[in-house]
Amino acid sequence: MKKRPAVSASLLASLLGCFLALAACQEGNQPTEQVQALPQRPPEPAAPKIPANSPTPPSTAHPAADLTHEAAVLAIRREFSRINAAPLDSVKRPFRCDTDGTVTFYSEKGQVVKILINWGFLGDGSTVSEYYYQAGKLIFFYETYTGGPAGEPETTNDERIYVQNDKAIRFLKNQRPAPCSPCAFSRSSRPYRVLAAFRSGQLESALCRL
């Protein structure tokens, strides 16, 4: 029986070294995984700064100011109609001058736009006054008197004053043009005194004098 030739230790070591070198070479040729970074969100743009000396918007002027009388009257009529159609808050308060009466303040967003005064019966009739305001300025004055001698039919007389910049620009008596009376209004005039009484509550001092 023939004996197989023995493999020397040096040959085995050489073969093992070649095998390890080949394995390392194949591992180095494997493609590596590329890790992509997530895109970053760009920074928010800074809010624009308003200069300290930036001009403020102009305040709203009185709509009827600086218009011709006819245009102003039309503007007042539109506002009069709008006020009477609007859902207004109301506060009714009693007062006493020559007789018992009531005053009702109508406000819109906290600002009085209409005042209705029922003066009660005095003599042979009763008087009702209505004042209309826009931005705190009187624009329309309306007053009616209803009554007459006992035993006769009642009659109604009315006065209408269209007001621009506290001056009467049209005065109608029973819906006909007439000389104005009064022709101008100030803070001491009754429509403005009553308007101030909405805050102060001093109705008699505002109503019981001309």
* pLDDT at residue 25 greater than cutoff 90: no
The whole-angstrom separation of Cα 169 and Cα 82 is: 21
The whole-angstrom separation of Cα 18 and Cα 116 is: 114
Higher-scoring residue by pLDDT: 22, 111: 111
* pLDDT at residue 205 greater than cutoff 70: yes
Domains of the chain, by residue range, sit at 69-185
Other Cβ atoms less than 10 A from the Cβ of 160: the count is 18
Least confident of 33-42, 75-84, 89-98, 150-159: 33-42
pLDDT of residue 64: 46
Name the range with the highest mean pLDDT among 3-17, 64-78, 145-159, 182-196. Answer: 182-196
| Distance from the Cα of residue 16 to its chain's centroid | 93
pTM to 2 decimals?
A: 0.66
Percent of the chain with pLDDT over 90: 51
Phi, psi (deg, nearest 5) at residue 169: -105, -15
CB 76 within 8 A of CB 168: no
